[in-house]
Chain A
């Protein structure tokens, strides 16, 4: 039993799911669901369809080269069973997974960083330029910080009574 990759979107196809199409030149196309299958039949190029992994890798949205990818390689010759090796492999898979996902998220974070910086600069500029819409210049002159003015509320002062000690 093997988990395969969908040819169109590159997600994993679990057993019992999807469709396999074998072309006359014996090339096998596996699809995870009918969405991918129908897209394939429409002859769409996955590298141009935004939500596929192929597009994302091609356009640098997701991580492409990494040493963690080399751990997972299809081996054609089976190895003799060794319990220790099996145990170690299972533990290793978890660790490798974690590292890989960390690296992938870091990659995305870095990618989005420049946008963030830009947006912050823009926001600051907008704030400086538009502060006159929410704060009168007089108020600005008094309190030069770029935030909303504090609204003074007239509280009706009760007559101050002398604090008389309570009659006992």
Chain B
């Protein structure tokens, strides 16, 4: 099967977290509730809430332009960090990276 077995979820998250410059990784469900995180609770809740809203808005933008289209990846580049959000209908995978490193 091409699906990731559960044990590898942990390993993959650790691997992602170990990539150079990665500050944090959060998995969020459809309601914006964090399921898995490598950051502390308050930061996680903040990122999850804000990015969930932004993703919803981005998704509705994409779908308003073309109803057959859907949002897959969102990348926010700021002066200090890069926030990458990979999404489908149900979940969000959020990774915050410092690209300078």
A binds B: no
